[in-house]
Amino acid sequence: MTASCEPRVIIHVDMDAFFASIEQRNNPDLKGKPVIVGGPLGSRGVVSTCSYEARSYGVHSAMPIAQAVRLCPDGIFLTVDPSAYSFAAKQIKAIFLRFAPAVQMISVDEAFIDITGSLRHYGSPREVALEIKRTIYREIGITCSVGIGPNKLIAKLGSGLEKPDGLAIIFGEAIENRLYPLPVGRLWGVGPVTEKYLTSKGINTIGDLARLDARQLRRDLGVKGVYLAARSRGVDDSIVLDDNSQPDEKSISHEYTFDCDTFDLTQMNAMLLALTEKVVVRMQKGEWLAGTVALRVRFSDFKTITRQKAVREPTDDLRAIFRTVRGLLPTKDVVSQGVRLVGVRVSHIVHRHLEDQSELFDCPISSKYRNLGDTIKQLRDKYGDAIITRVGTRIVRE
């Protein structure tokens, strides 16, 4: 099969203030008001999404609720409603699939769509984008912003240029005209640490980065410098991955924010066990086995670390996963700094049937705990997740 030389046309669709927009749609009295979705008042959570009315006060995603209250005391604070957002996201994806088969959801509220092969049916890229926007507003009741370009990178940058309810088409000379003036931190792949380094060198915009010699970037940043040099010039060869071409790697995670910073290792280990159990329950329901285990810790000063470790072979065994998680915990830092948030994640997941083979050296103890896990799973399937809890997690429930 030979590759097509037909120029690609990629759309990136980003819902405008998705969670807050769904809340305003469901309750018209909230329209035009500063809606802040995250933790309730007095909680130690963070802002998930806020309406554009709240953003005018300086509120933004990932901001601590307490800070959002200070900036916007008249804000309407709502807790997250996952079922409502998930249902809307499924409806939105179904709309995307009417326009093209290659739809890659990269989060609950944004997606890439490759419309290259659909233009002969729907007309120009602008008409396709406008029809997607009209359909979402008509059927879902919220607005979205769309970027259109020759690749995913440019399409994603474009969708953020004219929010909310925006539409940006970027091809040819428009790539330099519209993207080069943007702050370098807007470039896909430039995180806070890299942004700080680049701005310290006087590289403040994407254009500044694009005008640098690629060899200099390689000397300064290694392989990442070569990658960023290409990206700053709008180069991106990645394809839109639909459901049939998505990689097998998935992840499952749970996090918890403590009401008060904890310095207590016993409480930390109990919470880690509770989070690990939640992850394992989801794994077992989906018949997943994990190849990598990760721990996320946010300290009282908001410094956040993530540590991960590959397990010897894919597993859904609670004891093995918890033992790995606990081994990743920086105990001295917990006692000295205090912990605000902790999370457990598993990744590099495969289906059980792909790994369901007898071990070369099977162990009676391993078999005993596997049988216990199967029994617990059967009880939960029949009577619900709360039917049985492990004694080590009681401390976090009292």
What pLDDT tens digit does each residue of the chain (398 aa) get? 334 456 899 999 999 999 999 999 999 999 999 999 987 777 778 898 999 999 999 999 889 999 999 999 999 999 989 889 999 999 999 999 999 999 998 888 999 999 998 888 878 999 999 999 999 999 999 999 999 999 999 999 999 999 999 999 999 989 999 999 999 999 877 878 888 889 998 999 999 999 988 788 888 877 777 778 888 999 888 888 777 665 555 788 898 888 788 899 988 999 999 999 989 888 887 778 888 999 999 998 888 899 999 888 888 899 999 999 999 999 998 889 999 899 999 988 877 654 443 333 333 334 444 444 555 555 444 444 444 455 444 444 44
In the block, tokens 């008509």 appear at: 138
The residues of the chain that CATH labels 3.40.1170.60 are 18-82
CB atoms within 10 A of CB 391: 8
Amino acid 87: pLDDT: 93
Active-site annotation, residues:
110
As given in the structure block, the two tokens for residue 268 are: 């930390």
Amino acid 247: pLDDT: 52
Q: Which of 224, 198, 196 is nearest to 211 (CA)?
A: 198
* CATH for 18-82, options being 3.90.1150.10, 3.55.40.10, 3.40.800.10, 3.40.1170.60: 3.40.1170.60
Q: Given this structure, which CATH class describes domain 183-232? A: mainly alpha
The residues of the chain that CATH labels 1.10.150.20 are 183-232
CATH code for the part of the protein at 10-15+84-176: 3.30.70.270
Amino acid 370: pLDDT: 47
Q: Which of 312, 290, 273, 246 is nearest to 397 (CA)?
A: 273
| Helix axis angle, 82-99 to 125-139, nearest 10° | 150
Q: Which of 380, 368, 389, 384 is nearest to 277 (CA)?
A: 389
Amino acid 32: pLDDT: 95
CATH code for the part of the protein at 251-396: 3.30.1490.100
CA triplet 168, 119, 152: central angle to 5 degrees? 45
Amino acid 145: pLDDT: 98
* Strand (E) or helix (H) holding 26: helix 18-26
Amino acid 138: pLDDT: 97
The residues of the chain that CATH labels 3.30.70.270 are 10-15+84-176
